[in-house]
Chains A and B, each alone.
Chain A
Amino acid sequence: MFKFVVNRLLYTVLVLIAVGFVIFTLLYLSPDNPAQFKLGNTASASDIEYLNHLWGLDRPYLVQLWDFMYHAFIRFDFGDSWQYSAPIWPELFSRIPRTLLINLLALLMNAPIGIFLGIFAGLHGGKWQDSVVMIICMILVSVPGFWLALMCISLFCVKLGWLPVFGIETWKGYVLPIITGALGGIAMNARQVRSAILEVFREDYITTARAKGVPEHTVTYSHMLPNALMPIITSFSGAIAHLIGGSAITENIFSIPGVGSYMLTASQTRDYPVVRATAVFMCAFTTLVMLVTDLVYGFIDPRIKAAYASGKRK
């Protein structure tokens, strides 16, 4: 089991290195000229050449790639921002907690609420409670999250004035980003849990348990839910990818100085070291959450657990 965890960790590191390679190469392929962007249209050719040399852009692809990979993955140094000529790390470091706070809280919110709603709907399958929950979830799944955020701002911040329109000076600034971020995930989780429960409902082993004389609530809690909820854990990796991927838009809407908005501003000014650093950070975070969900799933699903154990035996 220990060996498996180590293997899985090593594998994650490899995936991350490959991701770094992909991100670097994608940005290398860009036809834009970053120096031109910084200096404006009136810049002289020699100035542009000077900047390109300063940033090392006149070197061959492989040399640039090695330079980036070496610094990013071995020395954990993403270099300086081209736009501000200042090291990226301190800036990134001050922004990470905000992004993490919003996304992790949204994730922590959508898991229990989504699962609870799903169980509620599933156990009332076909009755009106089920229909109400499912209609709400259907609407939440269909409405674009960022638009919902805009509408919430318009209602709660502009019209009612309950919350600040932007900024995170007080805790109130975090309320809407977290809630609007979680809503989509809650709906998605609820739908998945419900269909999993409806599927388990028909399984023969539920009848077996009833035939043993197991009371109905024990049937629900110790036979139905464990089997229905196990696959749900994997859906967390999807939810976190969705949240992190959407954080650029969320932070843009709520004017939160987080990693996503850092990336967005940098991408508008073609500040590639910053884009690379933020993108690698977001992928690393996503991959780590996926790793954790994978391991947790492995520990609680006997089938996968046994596969680990037998792998160790061999």
Chain B
Amino acid sequence: MAKDIKRVSAQQRKDYMRVYGNRKKSSLHDTYAEKADKPFLEVKDLEVIYTSNKQIVKAVNGVSFQLKRGESLALVGETGAGKTTICRSILRILADPPAKMTGGDIWMDGVNLTDLSEEEMLEVRGAKIAMIFQDPMTALNPSMQVGKQIIEGLMLHNDYTPAQAEERAKEMFEMVGIAPNRMVEYPFEFSGGMKQRVVIAMALACNPVVLLADEPTTALDVTIQAQVMDLIRELRNKLNTAMVLVTHDLGVVAQNCDNVAIVYSGQIIEYGSKESIFLHPTHPYTIGLFGALPNMNDNSERLTPIAGTMPDPTRLPDGCAFAPRCPHATDACRTGVIPEKEIAPGHKIRCIMRDKEA
């Protein structure tokens, strides 16, 4: 088996050289440092559709965002808004069928990921961009020792000998706070929080430059949630990793993110720095989200939920997708395409009503 993996990785290294030219691996980080102020990951007009029962569902509908080295972006929205789909399309691991990326570009460090061949993409997955999954209970292969699952990725992306890979895996285990002697155990011998630590160790083992964290804490207890987020933050600081964090939890956003994108029906309807979004939420949906958050300083008895549910993605309304639930909606909202407007530096919304007020 080990032979097998080595042969494959040699092939992949060749592919890697083709993509990244003659730059040596060790100099990569310097290159990143030079470009620190430029957008490192850039998603442009991403479109993804799902085909189910012969119906076409637009899961992601023209999403664009940028990420600098070490920066973090939160994708906030309801279940089914398309956040996970965005992450998966960056890695190009959408389940195809039924999902399919129909438009848009994903640029990473000057390379358009959508142009790469499947083999070239293998060298990006896990090495440059890593992903943490929502449910640690099912994210690990139940018939493989957890250590081996980490080593597998390490061997694919590095020139390690098996012993070195094991050493590195041990390091990662220590880093996420698990005794390295548990590497030979199987996933069912771990608790949920421990499994998520393993998943995090696996994602960060190859020092990725971008981390996609898909609701990393949703399946965990509240106390464990805080530990896991602290862990991710600590490791990111050490490795200077950029992060896309998918979450429902605005509290987590406040602690961990620089920028926030509010996602609704497959579109980013409001985008800005954490401060501007938290202090000046502008889109009616964002305001609704904050209204649905308990406030300790306020004595009001009830939270104000957003009325209604998300529109049926097979029959998205014309115009603004939020219009049917929006208290400010007018006829103008129900026709045409709602353009994106910058209402303050770096703060963009898709809403014609608030746009006018501002």
Q: Does B125 lie within 8 Å of A211, measured CB to CB?
A: yes
With an 8 A cutoff between CB atoms, is B220 at the interface? no
Interface residues in A198-220 by Cβ distance below 8 A to B read 203-205, 207-216, 218
CB–CB B143/A302 < 8 A: yes
Q: Which residues of B contact A211 (CB under 8 A)?
A: 91, 93, 125-126, 130-131, 133
**CB closest residue in chain B, given A209:** B141
Check: A222 CB closer than 8 A to any chain B CB: yes
Q: B186 to A213, Cβ gap below 8 A?
A: no
The answer on a CB contact under 8 Å between B125 and A208 is no
B133 and A207: CB pair below 8 A? Answer: yes
Mark the stretch among B151-159, B165-173, B273-281 that contacts chain A. Answer: B151-159
Q: A208-B140, A302-B143 are in contact. Are A215 and B133 (CB under 8 A)?
A: no
Interface residues of B in 132-182 (CB under 8 A from A): 133, 135, 138-145, 152-153, 156-157
For residue A301, CB closer than 8 A to chain B, the reply is yes
- Judged by a CB distance under 8 angstroms, whether B244 is at the interface is no
- Decide yes or no: A222 and B1 within 8 Å by CB, A302-B143, A303-B188 being known contacts: yes
Chain A residues near B1 (CB, 8 Å)?
Answer: 222
What are the residues of chain B within 8 A of A301 when measuring CB–CB?
143
Flag if B125 contacts A306 (CB, 8 Å).
no
Given A203-B138, A208-B133, A223-B141, CB of A213 within 8 Å of CB of B125: yes
**Contact A205 B141, CB 8 Å, known A210-B125, A212-B125, A222-B1:** yes
- Mark each residue of chain A from 273 to 314: 1 if its CB lies under 8 Å from any CB of chain B, else 0: 000000000000000000000000000011100100000000
Residues of chain A within 8 A of B143, CB atoms compared: 226-227, 230, 301-302
* Cα–Cα distance between A222 and B152 once the two chains are bound (Å): 10
Contact present for A227 and B141 (CB under 8 Å): yes
Q: Please name all residues of chain A whose beta carbon is closer than 8 Å to the beta carbon of B123 when the two chains form the complex.
A: 213
Q: How far is the CB of A229 from chain B (nearest CB, A)?
A: 10
CB distance from A197 to the nearest CB of B (A): 14
**How far is A230 from B138 in the complex, measured between Cα atoms in Å?**
17
**B142/A205 in contact, CB under 8 A:** yes
B189 within 8 A of partner (CB):
yes
Residues of A within 8 A of B131 (CB): 208, 211
Which B residue sits closest to A227, measured CB to CB? B143
Least Cβ–Cβ distance between B86 and chain A, in angstroms: 14
Mark A85-122 against chain B: 1 for CB-CB distance below 8 A, else 0. Answer: 00000000000000000000000000000000000000
Question: Which residues of chain B come closer than 8 Å to A215, judged between CB atoms?
Answer: 8, 12, 119, 122
A214 contacts B189, CB within 8 Å? no
Residues of chain A within 8 A of B141, CB atoms compared = 205, 208-209, 223, 227
Summarize A's interface: helix, strand, loop or mixed: helix
Given contact pairs A208-B133, A218-B5, A213 touches B138 in the complex (Cβ within 8 A): no
Contacts of B156 in A (CB 8 A): 212-214
User: B12 to chain A: which residues have CB within 8 Å?
Assistant: 215
Q: Which residue of B lies closest to A208 (CB)?
A: B139
In the complex, are the beta carbons of B126 and A213 less than 8 A apart?
Answer: yes
Q: Write the nearest CB–CB distance from A107 to chain B, whole angstroms.
A: 24
Chain B residues lying within 8 Å of A205, measured Cβ to Cβ, are: 138-142
A264 CA to B234 CA, complexed, in Å? 75
Bound-state Cα–Cα, A301 to B187, Å: 12
Residues of A within 8 Å of B122, CB to CB, are: 213-215
Q: Contact between A204 and B133 (Cβ–Cβ < 8 Å)? A: yes
State which of A208, A209, A303 has its C-beta within 8 Å of the C-beta of B199.
A208
CA distance A222 to B144 in the complex (A): 9
Q: Is the CB of B93 within 8 A of A210?
A: yes
Distance in angstroms between the alpha carbons of A218 and B4 in the assembled complex? 9
Indicate if B127 sits at the interface (CB-CB under 8 A).
yes
Query: Do B153 and A213 touch across chains, with their CB atoms under 8 A apart?
Result: yes
Residue of A nearest to B188 (CB): A303
Using Cβ atoms and an 8 Å threshold, which residues of chain A touch B5? 218
A305 smallest CB distance to B (angstroms):
9
B260 to chain A, nearest CB (A): 24
* Interfacial chain A residues near B127, Cβ < 8 Å: 213
Given A205-B139, A223-B141, A301-B143: A212 and B186 within 8 A (CB)?
Answer: no
CA A203 to CA B187, docked complex, whole Å: 14
Q: Is B326 an interface residue (CB 8 A)?
A: no
Q: Is B202 close to A, CB under 8 A?
A: yes
A residues less than 8 Å from B229 (CB atoms): none
- The verdict on B124 contacting chain A, using a C-beta distance below 8 Å, is yes
Q: A204-B138, A212-B153 are in contact. Are A306 and B186 (CB under 8 A)?
A: yes
Residues of B within 8 A of A214 (CB): 122, 126, 152-153, 156
Q: How many Å from the CB of A126 to the closest CB on chain B?
A: 8
Distance to closest chain B CB from A276 (angstroms): 43
Task: Write the chain B residue with the least CB distance to A301.
Answer: B143
- 21 A–B contact pairs at CB < 8 A? A205-B139, A205-B142, A207-B133, A207-B139, A209-B141, A211-B125, A213-B123, A213-B127, A213-B153, A213-B156, A214-B152, A215-B122, A216-B118, A222-B152, A226-B143, A227-B143, A301-B143, A302-B186, A302-B188, A303-B186, A303-B188
Additional A-B contact list (19), CB under 8 Å, known A204-B138, A218-B5, A222-B1? A203-B138, A205-B138, A205-B139, A207-B139, A208-B139, A208-B141, A210-B93, A211-B133, A212-B125, A212-B130, A214-B152, A215-B8, A215-B119, A218-B4, A226-B143, A226-B144, A230-B143, A303-B186, A306-B189
List the 4 closest A-B pairs by CB distance, nearest first: A213-B126, A213-B125, A212-B126, A204-B138
| A interface list, Cβ under 8 A from B | 203-205, 207-216, 218, 222-223, 226-227, 230, 301-303, 306
